[in-house]
Amino acid sequence: MFHTLVFVLEEAGKSIRRNGLMSFAALSTVTVALMVFGGSLFGLYRLHQFVASQPGRFRISVFLHVDQSRAATLELARRMRGLPGVESVSVVTKEQALADLRRKDERRQTNITAALGNVNPLPDRIDIRVSPPERSTAVADSLRDSKRYPQIEAVRDERALLEQLLATSRLVRNIGGSIAALLFLATGVVIQNTLRLTIFARRREIAIMRLVGATRALIRGPLVAEGVFYGVIGALLAGIALASVLTQSSRYLGRYQTPLAQGIPPGPSVPIMMGSLLAVGLILGAVTSWMAIRRFLR
Amino acid sequence: MRLDDRSAGPRPGFPRMIVFDNVTVAYSQERPALSGVNLTITDGAFTYIVGATGAGKSTLLRLVYCDLAPTQGAVIVDGVRLDGRRGCDVPALRRRMGVVFQDIGLLPDRNVYENVAFALRVIGAGHRKIRRNVPDALELVGMVHRPDAYPRQLSGGEQQRVAIARALVNNPPLLLADEPTGNLDPDTSMGIAEVLDRINQAGTTVVVATHDQPMVDAMQRRVIELSRGRLVRDEERGGYGASISDEA
C-alpha cells in the first residue's frame, strides 16, 4: 500500500515535470476556466443578494383612527409584535409624523404644514417589517379585518411593487442558478479536455502498465493525482487573482455608494471564496481526470 | 522466486501451460480470425507460431493474455479458464506472464534500469525486490552493463532486449512475444532468439509469433503454423515452412 502511494505520487510529479509545456498549458487553462467560473459565480451571487435584499426593505404602514388614544396605539403595537411573521414594529406618533412633514416641507419648499395652522390632522402610525417578505400580503390582509382591529383606519403595503420584486428575485435566483450550473459543466468540460491531452501524451505508459498487470486503480492513480494537482493549484491561482481584482474594484466602486446599494448584506469573504474555489478545483480535477482516463482503459 | 531459482521442465500441478479447445474468434460476419483451433503448450516448452500476415497469430496471443475473448470454445492459461476480459482477473493473469511487442517499446524518458523497474513498480513491488530482480533480468538479456543508457542511445536489438527484460522482471512462468524481431537485421534477430532460448532454458514457457524465417529455421523448435485462421501444421521440431505467403 505504501509503495503504491509512493508510486502514484512520484509518477504524478514526474509527469508534471517531464511534460513541462503540457503541464503549463493544462494549469493555465484550468486557472482561467476557474477564474471565469469563480468571477461569474461571485457576480451572480452579489446580484442575487441585491435583489433578494430589496423586498426586505418594504414595510406595512398601518394608519390608526385620528381619535385613538396613545395608550390604544401602544397596546395595538404590542399585539402586532406577537403576530406570526412580524419582525419589527415601530410606532410613529402623530407628533412625529407632523415633524416629518415639516421637514419635507422645508426640503421641498412647500407650505402644507403652514396651511394646517395649529391643527394636527395626522393619525398615529405603526410601521411593520415582515420576514420573510413573502408573508407581507397575508399580514396586511389580516390587519384589514376591521372587526378584529377596529382601531385601524387604513393599511398600506405596496403589494404590487413587492410582488414584482419578489418575482424578480426568484427569476434572478433561478436564472443565476442555471447559469452557475452551466458554467460548472463548461469548466468541467474544458478541464477534462485539457487532461485528456496530458493523458494522450502518456498513452504508451498506460499501455505498458496494462500489459504488466497494473490494476485499473493503479493506472488511474497518478493521472487522477495529476488532475487534482491542476485543479487545486489552478483554483489557488484563480482565487488569488479574483480576490485581488474584487478587492480593488470594490474599493473603487465604494466611492460611488448609492442609497440603492445600502443595506445589502456583505459578499462572501476572501477565505470563504478561496475555500469554495479550492473545493471546486479539487472536485473538478478528480472527477474530470477520472472520466478522461476511462476511454484509455477500455 | 529468483530467475536462477527457476528449474527447467514442467512445474508440478500445471503441466499444460496453454490449452485451446476448439477456439473460434470472429471479429465480424466475414472469415473468422481463428477457426476451430485446438492446441496444447506444455509448461517449459518453446513454441513458434508462424503464418502469413492475417493468419491469426496475433489473435492467438491476444487470447492468451486475455485481451480478447473467444467467440466459441475455451482458452485455459496456467490452469485459469479465460472467459473474456469481463470474466477474468486481467491484472492477476498478466502478472503471471510477460508480453513483448514490436510496437510497444520503451519509455523514452527513462533509462534502461527505470524502464525495467517500471514493470515492478506498477504492481506495487518494494525497493528490495526491484534492486534484486532488475539486475537479474538485465543479466539474462545481456544488458546489465548499460543500466543508465536511455532508449535513444540503444540499438534496435538492445531496445528489444530491454523490453524482454521488462517482461521477465517479475519472474513470470510464461513469456509471449509478438514479432519480437520485426524491425531487426538477421544477426540481431539471432541474438534475440538466443536470449529467448536462454530464458526458456531457465524454465520459462516461451511462445513467439513471428515472420522471421531464418530465426525459426535456425532454432528448430516446435512450430505451429496458422493459415487463414486454421491450424495447418504442428511440428515438434520444425522450420518456418516454404508455403507461407501473405494472405491479407
**For B181-224, how does the pLDDT look when each residue is reduced to its tens digit (9 = 90+)?**
887 888 888 888 998 998 999 889 999 999 888 889 988 899 99
Number of A/B CB contacts below 8 angstroms equals 60
B128 vs chain A: nearest CA distance in angstroms?
11
Do A50 and A66 share a domain, yes or no? no
Report yes or no: A21 at the B interface, CB cutoff 8 Å: no
Give the pLDDT of residue A262.
62
Domain extent at residue A170:
2-54+164-294
Determine contact: A79 vs chain B, CB below 8 A. no
Q: Does domain B3-105+174-235 fall into CATH 3.40.190.170?
A: no
**Identity of residue A10:** E
The pLDDT tens digits of the residues spanning B83-133 come to 755 556 788 888 889 999 877 789 988 999 999 999 998 888 888 999 999
Same domain assignment for residues A180 and A45: yes
pLDDT, tens digit, 9 for 90 and up, residues A185-213: 888 888 788 788 878 888 888 888 888 88
Residue A223 pLDDT: 87
For residue A217, name the pLDDT band (cuts at 50, 70, 90).
confident
Min Cα distance A291 → chain B (Å) is 20
Instruction: Please state the φ and ψ torsions of residue A179, each to the nearest 5 degrees.
Output: -60, -40
**pLDDT score, position A238:** 93
pLDDT of residue B4: 39
Q: Is the pLDDT of residue A48 over 70?
A: yes
Alpha carbons A267 and A49: distance in angstroms, whole number: 8
Q: How far apart are CA B137 and CA B155, in angstroms?
A: 18
Percent of chain B exceeding pLDDT 70 equals 89
Domain match, A14 and A139 both:
no
- The reply to whether residue B123 touches residue A204, judged by beta carbons under 8 angstroms, is no
**Same structural domain for residues A100 and A238?**
no
Residue A182 pLDDT level (bands cut at 50, 70, 90): confident
Q: Which helix (H) or strand (E) holds B188?
A: helix B186-201
Nearest to A46 by CA among A55, A38, A36: A38
| Contact across the interface for A208 and B65, Cβ inside 8 Å | no
Output the CA torsion A144→A150→A151→A153 (10° steps).
Answer: 50
Nearest to B94 among A1, A213, A219 (CB): A213
B116/B125 Cα distance (integer angstroms): 12
DSSP state, A213? T
C-alpha cell at B79: 490452469
Q: Is the dihedral of CA B232, B238, B242, B247 positive or negative?
A: positive
**Whole-angstrom distance, CA of residue B25 vs CA of residue B60:** 9
Q: Angle, nearest 10°, between helix axes A216-253 and A2-18?
A: 60
Is-contact B95 B117, C-beta < 8 A? no
- What is the secondary structure of A145-178 as a DSSP string? -TTT-TTEEEEE--HHHHHHHHHHHHHHHHHHHH
Cis check for the bond before A132: say yes or no (omega within 30 of 0).
yes
Among residues A157, A178, A203, the one where a domain terminates is A157
| Dist CA B31 CA B110 (whole Å) | 42
**Same domain? A201 vs A142:** no
Element housing A91 (H / E): strand A86-92
Backbone angles phi, psi at A246, to 5 degrees: -70, -40
Residue A73 has pLDDT above 60, yes or no: yes
Phi and psi at residue A196, in whole multiples of 5°?
Answer: -60, -35
Cβ-Cβ contacts under 8 Å for A49 (sequence gap 6 or more) = A264, A265, A267
How many residues belong to chain B? 248
Residues A244 and A287 both lie in one domain: yes
Per-residue model confidence (pLDDT) at position B54: 86
Enter the ipTM: 0.81
Interface of B with A in 110-129 (CB under 8 A): 118-119, 121-127
Residue B9 clears pLDDT 50, i.e. is over it = no
Considering A157, A179, A197, which residue would you say is the last residue of a domain?
A: A157
Instruction: Name the domain boundary from A112, A142, A157.
Output: A157
Mean pLDDT across chain B, nearest whole number?
A: 85
pLDDT at residue B5 greater than cutoff 90: no
Cell 448584506 sits on residue: A265
Beta-ladder partners of B206: B46, B175
B61, B64, B169, A13 alpha-carbon torsion, rounded to 10°: 90
pLDDT tops 50 at residue B7 = no
What is the torsional sign of CA B14, B17, B21, B26? positive
Same domain, A75 and A18: no
Please tell me the total number of residues recorded for chain A in this structure: 298
Let me know whether A105 and A237 are in one domain.
Answer: no
Number of domains, chain A: 2
pLDDT of A92 > 90? The answer is yes
Same domain for A281 and A144: no
Q: Are residues A63 and A140 in the same domain?
A: yes
Determine contact: A22 vs chain B, CB below 8 A: no
Distance from CA of B41 to the nearest CA of A (A): 21
Do A72 and A20 share a domain, yes or no?
no
**Judgement on whether residues A49 and A66 belong to the same structural domain of the protein:** no
CATH number, domain with residue A140? 3.30.70.3040
